[in-house]
Amino acid sequence: MLDFLPTTVKNGIKNLNIREIYEIRLRADKPVTVNYNGEYRYLGFYGLVALADKALRCDLDEIADCVFRAGKYSVYSVEEQIKQGFITAENGERIGLAGEFVFDKGQPLTLRNFTSLCIRVPHEVIDSGKEIYRRCMSDKIRSILIASPPGQGKTTILRDLSRLLCQNKRKNILICDERGEISCGNAGDTCDILKYSDKATAFEAGIRALRPDIIITDELSENDCNAVKKARVAGISVVATAHFHSINDICAPFLGAFERFVLLNGDQIGKIDAIYDENAKELL
């Protein structure tokens, strides 16, 4: 994992507990920072440091090399991902890209001259989805939306929910893994995986070819809700995530697509703040 990083950064994180690293941020000629156990800290040659002037720094060439290595030495192989502002490395590390967008006839053609990277480190946390499973799925299969601001453990919970559903319900699960993050760990032994496709295409192809009982997907947008509703009409449950801060932020297309809404705590990763029914009424 993280083999694409500059050597100095790899050496710095060797002295840290990888399970406590959630993000690594490389910005050209600026201090390297890591989200370590929920707190952003500076990274030095031998681990965490308190002062910015003691932190490691990367230049533009090192950042470009990271992207090149993460793309297995072929930017063309990840060109479609780059258009969307990210690439996914071999072990599920999602690398957000900042730089210059190039447009052709109003459409994004590519992103180049990378200036910073936001590297999200995937973790497998067994039973991180256990409480949601117990409260929302143990008695019957339901369609669930898990919501929170970014970086609160939604994808990790999705992966564990897939494992629990495979283990306890023996259902056929389709993981629509648009960014290649959900399936990088143990998602269970009765799941099928479609990677790097948009939701509408993956849902339609998966329903036709793989006959899932449950579809699991990440980072749902308002435009994706129609695909969710079509799946539910076909008798398929959907478990997904989205970026919302509170139940009041969840807009109509989402409210009409799910039976349960799970809001995660914005201050503590993976902790449930509240669960609501299909009418947005809180369940005690």
CA distances from 152 to 126, 241, 243, 265, 277 (A): 16, 11, 10, 8, 21
3-state SS assignment for residue 144? strand
Mean per-residue pLDDT pooled into runs of 10, the chain (284 residues): 93 93 96 93 96 96 92 76 86 91 80 93 90 94 94 91 95 92 89 91 94 95 93 95 92 90 85 93 89
User: Among all chains, which residue has been given the structure tokens 């496709």?
Assistant: 197
Spatial distance between the Cα atoms of 187 and 171, rounded to a whole number of angstroms: 13
Does domain 7-120 fall under CATH 3.30.450? My reply is yes
Please state the domain extents for the chain. Answer: 7-120, 130-283
pTM of the entire predicted model: 0.82
CB under 8 Å, gap of 24 or more: what pairs does 17-23 form? 18/121, 19/123, 21/121, 22/120, 22/121, 22/123, 22/151, 22/269, 23/118, 23/119, 23/120, 23/121, 23/151
In eight-state DSSP terms, residue 28 is: B
Residue 124 near residue 188 (C-beta atoms within 8 A): no
| DSSP states of 89-124 | -TTS-EEEEEEEEEEETTEEEEEEEEEEEEEEPP--
Residue 144 near residue 284 (C-beta atoms within 8 A): no
Spatial distance between the Cα atoms of 231 and 271, rounded to a whole number of angstroms: 29
Q: From the centroid of its chain, how far is CA 275?
A: 21
Spatial distance between the Cα atoms of 36 and 150, rounded to a whole number of angstroms: 16
Spatial distance between the Cα atoms of 163 and 126, rounded to a whole number of angstroms: 9
pLDDT the model gives residue 76? 67
- Out of 3.40.50.150, 3.40.50.300, 3.90.800.10, 2.60.120.10, the CATH code matching 130-283 is 3.40.50.300
User: Among all chains, which residue has been given the structure tokens 């030095």?
Assistant: 44
Burial of 14 by CB count in 10 Å (0-12 exposed, 13-18 middle, 19+ buried)?
exposed
Alpha helices in the chain (DSSP H): 7-13, 60-70, 79-83, 130-136, 154-169, 199-210, 225-233, 252-255
pLDDT the model gives residue 217? 96
pLDDT the model gives residue 14? 93
